Structure 1
Amino acid sequence: MGHQTETHVWDEELAPEPRGRTWRPEAGCPVEVALAAVSGRWTTLLLRELMGGPRGFTELRTLFPDLSAKVLSERLRTLRERGLVAVERRRGFPVRTRYELTRAGEALRVLLVELYATGEELLRLTTASETRDERSPGRLEA
């Protein structure tokens, strides 16, 4: 058998180096790392609130009344395990716990800002598209 030569041309902006040039999700792919960092229900909202500074567990519970204490604990533990949040336990009774973003957690700010902007644009485009489709008489559904 002869050698296979790579004929695929990579978009340098989307995959500027080999770690991003994969054919399946890889743990070391920078895009997968970034997506994993913000994955999970409530995670982006917790990160958003922690961007404003350290917060206590009770304060976070107050900010998110629909978030159960169990799920909040799980999300904060996951963020800690990912190296995105540091925990400080203060002495006393009851023990007070403060959660604060690490430098890695703070690095997610640009991603959250971009995700928000992209979501707004998608909402605008899909709403415009739906409005245009509704005005088109006789449009066949696929």
Structure 2
Amino acid sequence: MTTMTGGCLCGAKRFTAEVGEEKAYLCHCRLCQRATGNVSIAMVVLPTATIKWDGEPDWYRSSAIAERPFCATCGTSLGFRYIDSPEKMDLTVASFDDPSVFTPHYHFGAESIHRPWLNTEGLPETRSDEYPALQERWAKAER
């Protein structure tokens, strides 16, 4: 087990989680798409007992069977859990401070996969630190 930390964009909702060899996945279901405004969301399922919150998240009951933790201040989506299975909870991979330790192992909600977004290999790539317009905006903001 490895202790990992994470949280929302503004830092108001932070967590510590004990992560073992859990397999991360991409969820493509329409509820996750709508909840995140994206074509899929990367998640990892963890035992709820291994997650400690520093700043209890806000909760949204997204359906009759599930609820989602989030930050009401910055809007960050932090995860998902079934109401009838409180012993497990999915956390969003990108909310971890170091999401690079996770790799996807399977797809869920495959009926709603947007196939053109699965393999983007070969598309042009631009680094944010090499994009002049963004660097100019940061320079102005930091003056």
Normalized per residue, which structure has more strand? 2
Normalized per residue, which structure has more helix? 1
Which of structures 1 and 2 has the larger relative contact order (alpha carbons within 8 angstroms, sep 6+)? 2
TM bucket normalised to smaller: under 0.3
Q: Which has the larger radius of gyration?
A: 1
TM-score between the two structures when normalised by the length of structure 2? 0.26
TM-score between the two structures when normalised by the length of structure 1? 0.26
